[in-house]
Amino acid sequence: MKDDNTPTAPKRITAKNMTEKEFFYGHKACAGCGGSVAVRLALKVTGEKTFAAFPAGCMAAVGFIYPQMAFRNNAIITTFPGVASMASGISVGAKALGLKGYKTVAFAGDGGTADIGLQALSGMIDRGDDVMYICYDNEAYMNTGIQKSGLTPYGTHTTTTPAGKNFPGSKTQKKNLFEIIAAHDIAYAATASIGYPQDYINKVNKAKQVKGPSFIHVFASCPTGWGSPTHTSIELAKEVVDTGLFFLAEYENGSFKLNKNPKAFKDIPTYLQKQGRFKHLKEEDYKLIEEHRDMKWERMRRNWKHS
């Protein structure tokens, strides 16, 4: 939002210097849950002095059930549309109390961010509230049983976009969430994937330095909702970037930058066929998905900084 809020490059976090401490541990997420990986890694960066806010969703359901409270830091469940607003409240509350060295982090899924939570998020950024917002994107409403969201990609079978003979499942493309957020002239926004954890945690670390709103859109696999083997979660989150169906990028100082610009993309059908939710897709669907990817990358490569 304001240029003086732009983060300076902090010391790089690696597997060697990352804390052994756990802040989200002992929860009852499904095996292979990408969302819980995203939360666990982010909290390792933001640390004990984190006020974490979660709307009603998977992480609320798996992390807050007494006596299995899985958080070692302060954390709270918010209303579904209100996570960004509550984080704003926590952040100004901490300021009023004179608390130093704390970070307020809002974590929400794709539905809670791109659909019902978008208004609150927009207001939070517009006011310049000191909150880091992390959207873990598993591409559907998983907690309520796999319904389509605004970030569900074309061709996904969900319970509200059931695939059929003449119906490819979800017919819309993913909302352009990252650019919607960047359009607020936010100090720092980034996309990431749990398949590239080093990239992700360092983006969290960068966002931590921002005095004001920051935003990270992290791709997070969901074996339960995707019909994929639980051990492939990290692999799929890597492959989605390598196929160009997701991208790693940053927005700071008013400009976009691609962090990873593959010379050749990996095969899209190979990635899709590993997941039950895409099993029904036909040649023409693959073609459509590929065309949309190429169009997007042509535009990103033309307008954004890249290597």
Partner 1 sequence: MGELRLMKGNEAIAEAAIRYGVDGYFGYPITPQSEVIETLMARKPWEETGMVVVQAESEVAAANMLYGGAACGKKVMTSSSSPGVSLKLEAISYIAGAELPALVVNVVRGGPGLGTIQPAQSDYFQAVKGGGHGDYHLIVFAPNSVQEMADFVEDTYELAIKYRNPAMILSDGIIGQMMEKVELKDFKPRFTDAEIKEKFGSWATTGKTPDRERNIVTSLELQSELQEKHNHKLQAKYQQMRETEVRFESTNTEDAEYLLVAYGSSSRICRKAMELARDKGIKVGLLRPITLFPFPTKQLAELANQVKGMLSVEMSAGQMVEDIRLAVNGKVPVEHFGRYGGIIHSPDEIVNALEKQIIKG
- Contact residues toward partner 1 (CB under 8 A) are 56, 60, 77, 79-81, 111, 115-116, 118, 141, 143-145, 147-148, 150, 159-162, 164, 167
Torsion of CA 222, 224, 227, 231, to 10 degrees: 60
Min dist CB 147 to partner 1, Å, is: 4
C-beta of 81 vs 197, nearer to partner 1: 81
Query: Residue 69 corresponds to which tokens in the numbers above?
Result: 């409270």
Distance CA 260, CA 242 (A): 9
Closest CA to 194 of 244, 253, 135, 148: 135
C-beta of 26 vs 164, nearer to partner 1: 164
Min dist CB 54 to partner 1, Å, is: 11
β-pairing verdict for 214-219 and 188-193 = parallel
C-beta of 80 vs 247, nearer to partner 1: 80
C-beta of 37 vs 53, nearer to partner 1: 53
Min dist CB 35 to partner 1, Å, is: 17
Q: By CB neighbour count within 10 A (0-12 exposed, 13-18 middle, 19+ buried), where does 235 fall?
A: middle
Closest CA to 215 of 83, 116, 93: 83
Whether the Cβ atoms of residue 148 and residue 170 lie closer than 8 Å to each other: yes
C-beta of 154 vs 265, nearer to partner 1: 154
Contacts of 111 (CB under 8 A, 6+ apart): 57, 140, 141, 147, 149, 150, 151
DSSP assigned state of 62: H
C-beta of 93 vs 162, nearer to partner 1: 162
Min dist CB 116 to partner 1, Å, is: 4
Min dist CB 276 to partner 1, Å, is: 16
Closest CA to 58 of 121, 120, 111, 124: 111
Q: Which residue has the tokens 């409403």?
A: 141
Min dist CB 168 to partner 1, Å, is: 14
